[in-house]
Structure 1
């Protein structure tokens, strides 16, 4: 099945929550340096990562000079080395990475599990030591190292952006019309010109390193100290208060203070802003309250969530978040209008005040959503409260335009503890729980507690769902055009893409699941179904006078099926089809890891006069051996090359040189994942023969592309 355009799924039910219109892109290009490893070791790793929906690209390195040259060419994601050192010693690899300050995880691949070797490797500076015999552990280790590397890169990027943001903020503070100061503890470390002016000073020399309390009248100093202490102890994000400031000449004025957490010169501090009276009053009125219901608003909720999560991180302050969503809100709004919806919201707010103690926070962040921060660690108590809320809302009637209206709600619950994510993700979890409940119950009016399923549990469900779908033949074929760019042809080319159908007849890509289950028998069964159905539809197209050619993918498991070629020969005769209208696609990594079987398969289908295409070309370290061994008519360059070309991460000349070499070997080149105009000119200049991707047409159920328009 092609990597070009697969669909992805998320949520509690892998089949039920699929969005069939969503494009599936390769998640991430992964650039790997293999040291002292042959194709028999590197190709299974490439296949393993590709099955995990990554886009790996590897290069073999034997000499120290080549290693240093590779480091200077680009940013690499992994170094995988062998204990059987050749000319390039692993110690020299680690030395150069430290010397050049390169953050690249180094993984040592061993022949067996040896604890003493693992300890030595980790002491030497390896990030991990893994046996090549344990594929599952190897994949988990590589994924973990890639995730850690991405986190470190994102952290460095965030630190750089934070530094830029702080610099710009300081520039803005200098010209602000509000008095602004920064406190380190209780002393001033920064004051802007407006702050100096408000307190009657020409410049900041008399203010820096002075206690801020000395700038307020004596009667307010104790309260100010208490508020500052409460602000720090409670880890508040902001606070408002009013004091009387004392100028340099002894006169006083009303200072409306807004306190916020901030950073100055890379250190945490308290930022003080003095606002005019009118702005301060308006800020007090709007900072907390939803004007329709009188509950807390979105802004106050966001600040409160930050504080609650921080308290939970400190330990001993777990609580729960209730996400209350009004069911069928859009329909209700279309019937009763905005004013009617406001009345419904006020009635629900009144119910929540009656049901929930004031110790807990109730907010209305948007028109149809209420959120409760239930300050109790027990999920069971939260569920009981949520059920009472559901029942109360369903039993209540709102008077709208002299008509009684009843509504229901769906409530998602998520716990807040020392492992909680950011506030946005926390709310998203509760929202997903409420939405999945509504989708399953056909209208909502219920409660669901969000739970994070383990990968093992997901894999078990996935295997069961996939097998049921295969046994019931819940399949659908889609076709995506492969369009000539530098190729004279009177035949229309399409790639065949397989989609599974869930019980509700919605599409999902099987590749998402095949990476996680033992699927040899399923792959063979699906491949045969795809071939049979493709030939049937191709026969129909030919009878209508259309000249089509189909690219059909063959999985690695099917390459080992000794009965396939004889079955294929009989099937072609049954449909009375010209065999040259069929192109069988083989993955480069499958071919490399099963070269004898792939060579025999290619020889046999060529005798039937079918064509061969090598896809994912350029990802394995043995691509040169593959292209020599397999008499491929078409070469489909891996989509990661096209993505790099589109994003400006690859040199046009190197891509063009690869295409020229393939064309010189009389191989027809195909570039997949063409998804925008930006890459089209580069592909044209490269001389690639065919292109494929969403820019031309997404996969469809019919072979209906107008090839004369391009």
Structure 2
């Protein structure tokens, strides 16, 4: 049994064909692989930066790129990736060097059975290590949280073993008047009970120990403090574990001071969330409120907005007077938000369920009001100031309050650079990390605001018939740019969308635009068909078919104009969901295609279970097709398999004329690729020319 649902595998090999042979060995053993072919250190660096991997299989050396370098890069990535080396001929000295470099196994290349056994064993051990690490983290975190809760709890809590105190939290020590645990440790709990109630307490504890799961676990007594003063208390006892030993947990409440304490606690709580100069909320409380707003954005998609307001040119000597006065001015304008003093000369505002337009209007009012405010310093002097304001949305993809505040602060700095007394709205732009990769969090933020900022568009690539059929067919591709117009790589775009749960949002936008395009084509006399690839989440979301049905009804377009693509890997792992999704689409007249076909565990079985209309042959089979007899044979087998089941075949990624000829000879029905035409902003392909 494979312990990992999808095996993310890196293969370091000189050619894709050689890598494919390794992958085929694993597919025969029904390993659900999602592979990546790597040829050099740059390829490996990119792969390691993109995602987590489960396994790496390598030859001893590709060009100047060695296993030692592979192992060093894997170690630097801090990922737990077992490295398996395949050798043509096992040599003791070289095997020793490879194992010393960090390889987990060195095995003969031509022994499929050995490879399959080693891979299975490594995956089992990897899953065990991850499980152990996960449980260890959970245990450590629970221990840490328990300790924090115990030490900060206002409840007086102690642990007793054999009648003696082994630990007590600060509240317990304070209640009984002991300065430290050293004084209390080893002291019998009976010594903290008044003499007249000790007999009652003994009977209670005897009954508790005898009938552990029954009876009353609470008792009211008179306690004795260290200074011998008595007080009324309520005690709750329960079985517990402390320092890996079974013991009794005692929770004590001082009944004589409950009301007084509650009042004091309310006052302290209020004081703890207020700034002592302005009376406004303080930084800590603001971050807590922002965290709740962020949770709301993640759960319900409700956006809020943050204003970061920094006063311009305020001297240290006058800051308290100015801050107090300006705080009152801003507070009078902030009717629907929460205002806080965030720093020495910084205010922040959180407005729930508001947008950037609303925030911009408020920012304009604040800038004007602050500029018009004169602060009397009480020494016969007065001062005026202005402010710079940064605005940032509270987006689900921001992940933490610190990220939201960082965005707002960045926008504030931009406003300040322009001379202050103005505001700026944060817009994420495409930038690289120190390691050279794009920041997924920035891309996710751009996705959330891409629609209203018109940074999404579609591109179209023709799918042409190789046997003279007259149809205008395009596949559509989603394109997004940042606020500076720089395109975002599709891999990073979809990865960020999936991590931030924004895939369905992009799917719905693509569907709406696709229907608009088809309507436009219809009006201009073109009967156009569109291949649409939705996210992997779409087949799990029952709202997507409803959304498609609504669009079909609104536009009166026939469903056959849309062909929805499903990835073969997703179809294999989600068979029932994929079949239900296809069935629903078929009832609406839409058609479906299985894309990236030929890389699954058992493509023939998959095709029998997944009732699609089209089969899109994986792009790896088109590379070097004119000279690669193995690929030619594979394409012929796929076409035969598909045609036997009345499926239409499409070859992806055609890059040269010779490959196109081979595809025609293999009786592939349709083809697409850069050789025919790259994805374009317009549907401008002349299908009649291709047919002639």
Pairwise TM-score range, normalised by the shorter structure: 0.3 to 0.5
Q: Bigger relative contact order, structure 1 or 2, given CA contacts below 8 A and separation 6+?
A: 1
Taking structure 1 as the reference length, the TM-score comes to 0.40
> If you compute each CA radius of gyration, which structure gives the higher value, 1 or 2?
2
Taking structure 2 as the reference length, the TM-score comes to 0.41
